[in-house]
Structure 1
Amino acid sequence: MDRVEGTSEPHREWKTIFVTGGAGYIGSHCILTLLEAGYTVVTVDNFTNAVGIVKDGHSCVAPSIQRVEQITGKKVIFHHCDLLDKKKLSEVFAEQKIDCVIHFAAMKAVGESMQVPFLYYKNNIMGTINLLEVMAENNCHEFVFSSSCTVYGDPGDALPITEEHPTGGVTNVYGRTKFFIEEMLKDIYNADKRWNIVLLRYFNPVGAHPSGIIGEDPTKPFANLMPYMAQVAIGTKPSLTIFGTDYETEDGTGVRDYIHIMDLAEGHVAALSKLKREPSLGLKAYNLGTGKGVTVLQLVHTFERVTGTTLTLDLKDRREGDIVAMYADPSLAEKELGWTAKRSIEEMCRDFWKWQTQNPTGYRGDVSHMIPAAKSNLSESATVSLTNGNHSAVNGH
C-alpha cells in the first residue's frame, strides 16, 4: 500500500486523544491504557453496543467509563453522541484541541449484519465519513482505525497471515464495512498526504482487566465465545453450542488467534507512539494477534481448568461459510511498533472469570434506568457461532 517512509522529524508532543465507541469493551480498556500513558481522553458513544445509564432523569453516563476513572484516578471527558449526528459531533470535537483519533465505534454482530445490511452500511460507513470530515474541518489528520482480521476473508492455507495477504473476499456485511472503510482510508490518504493513518487488524480479543472491575458486557445476543462460556459456567445459559467438530484440526474444531484485551489495548498506545515518531508515516496496517492458533475446544478446556467449572457442550454440524483457521503473523507490529502480545490463554480465562463472577449482570444493575437505545438491545437468548469468531467490532467493541 502507498505510504511515505518515516522521517527524522522531532517527536511530537500530543496530549488529547479522541476515542469513538469508548464505552464499549475494547474502547474502555483502551481508554484505561491511554490514561495510564498520560493522555487526556475525550470519548463519545451512542450506547448501541454498550450500557448507558440515565442520571438525574435526563443525562446519560457510561458505567464502564466511570469504572475506568475509578481504576486510574483520572477523569474522562465523555459525551453521549452518535457519529451519524454530524452537527453534535462537530460541537463535541470543537471543544478540545484533538491531536489524534482512535475510531472504535461500529455495529459489530456478523449475523445481524446479514439481516440488516442497510443499518450496518449506514452506521459503520456513514459514521466514519462524518468523523473524517469533522477531523479535516478541525485540521486533525492523525487516525487509528479499529479494523479486523475479517478483511482477509478465508486465508486458506496462507497461515500465519501477514499484512501483505490480499484483503477483500469477505463473506459478511460487517466484515465488508471494515474492508470498505480501509479502502476509503487508502483513497483519502492518496488524495491528501497530510493524513497519517494506522490500520489495526484485530484478531480475537478476550479477557478483561485483571482487577475484574471492567470487562465485556454484551448488550445484544452473545456472539463472542468467552462471554457465552462464562454465562454457561455461572448457570445463566444452559449449554455452549459449538458449530463444527470435523475440521482438519487437532480436535476437529475451528482455530482462532485469541488475544488478551489488555495486550490489544496496549497495541493502540504503541500505534500512537509510532504516529508521533513518524509524522510522515502515511498509511500502514498492522496485525494485532498472538501468532498462535488455538482451537475452540482448547480454549473451552483451558477455561474449565482455570475456573474449576464444567461446561455443558452442544456439538452441532459446521455451518456454511465458517472458515477452518485464522491466526496472525504479528512480527511487523513487533518490529515497527515495538509491541508483542504478552499474556497467556490462562490469563485471558482467569481475568474474564474474575470480571464475570464479580459482575454477574455486567454493568447493567437496574435496567429500568438504562437509556432506551441500550435497553432495547437486551436479549435473554441467542444462537452463537463459536467457529467463525472474528473480532467483535464495537461501538465500544
Structure 2
Amino acid sequence: MNDLTWLWIVLGVVLLVVVGLVGFRARGSRRPTPPAPSGPSAPAPAEAPPDASAPGAEPAAHGAPSDAPVEEAVAEPAPGGAPALEAPEPVAGRMSRLRGRLARSGSPFGARLLSVLSRDHLTEDDWDELEETLLVSDLGAGPTEELLEALRTQVRVEGVKDPARARELLRAQLLALVEPGLDRSLSTAPATAPDGSHLPAVVLVVGVNGTGKTTTVGKLARVLVAEDRTVVLGAADTFRAAAADQLETWGARVGVQTVRSDRDGADPAAVAFDAVRTGRTQRTDVVLVDTAGRLQNKAGLMDELGKISRVITKEAPLSEVLLVLDATTGQNGLTQARVFGEVAGVTGIVLTKLDGTARGGIVVAVQRELGVPVKLVGLGEGPDDLAPFDPEQFVDALLGD
C-alpha cells in the first residue's frame, strides 16, 4: 500500500472513534424509554404531572395518564363497567327515627302539654296555656278546641294529677285527631287493560317550589325498589335545567330508568306521556312522574298541571296524586293544599322536613283541610329518610319519653 492509502485508513478509524464517543455520551445523558406495553395487563408508563399553573390543567391520578377520567366517590365501577348499584334500606322501622330527631330539634310540644296537665289544680290560665301551645303547633283552631274539650271532661271526671296518666290521656286524644284508621297505603299495584295489555301504576307528584319535590320522587323510587317494585321515572319538570339531571342521578343509583327530554322547556305533558308509555312497554310496576314546582297563584301553570293529568290518563289511569308539602311552613301550607286539591285531585300528602319542626300539628290540620291522609313523611336529608307515616309512632315522637 502507498502512503496515501494508509492516510485514508487512519482518518477513517479516527472518525469512527469520534462518532462513537459522541453517541455514547448522548445516550448516557437521558433515561432510556421503554417500549409501549402491548398486553392488557402491562403497566402504563409513568408520566410527569401537568403543570398546575397551566390553564385547564387537571391533576392526574397517581400512576395514570393525565387524561384518565376521574371517578366519583359515590359509585365505584362494577366488573362489567356499570356503576355499582345501591341497596336501599328496608322500609320497615324508618319511622322510629322521628322520636330522636324531634328530640334533637328541641321540640317543646309534648313536654309543655304534659307539665301543664300534671299540675295539682288546673286553672283557666292553665287551659289558656294549653290552648296556646296547641295553636302554636299548627294544630288548627278546630282540632285544638276538640282536644281541649275532651281533656277538660276527662280531667274533671278523673282528677288527673299523675304524669303517667296525663300522658296516657293526651296520647289517646292526639292519636284520635291524627286518625289512625285512614288508609295510608300507596296504590302501586299494576293492572291489566281491557285489551289485556299491561298498565303500570302511575303516581303523579305535585307541589310548589322549594318543598323538595324532585328529591322526594328520588327517595320514593328507593322506597319502591326496597319493596321489590320495578320503577320508571318521568322527568316532567322541564323548566328547571337541573331537575332532569337530578332525577336521573337518583334513578341511576338504584338501577331505575329516567325518561326525559333532550331540551329544556319541552312540553311536560309529552314527557309524562312518554314515561307512562315506556312503563307499559317494559311492563314496569310503577311510573313516578315529577312535575315543575308551581306557585298556587299562577293560573297558567296550574292549568298546565291539569293538562299533564289529562294526557297521562290517555295512556293509563292515575293511581296516586301525591302533594309534597314542607312541614316547616305550617299553616301557609294549607293554602297550597286547597288549590292543589281542587286542580289535581290529590290522593295523599307527603310531608317533608318533619324532623325539623316542633309544629307537628300540621299533620292534623292538612288532613282536615284536604280530607286525604298523610302517607309519607321526610325524616331528614339521607337518601333513605322517607318513611310511610305511622300515626302511633308520630304521636309518641311528639310526646317524647
Same fold (TM over 0.5): no
**Greater share of strand residues, 1 or 2?**
1
Bigger Cα Rg: 2
**Greater share of helix residues, 1 or 2?**
2
TM-score, scaled to structure 1 = 0.34
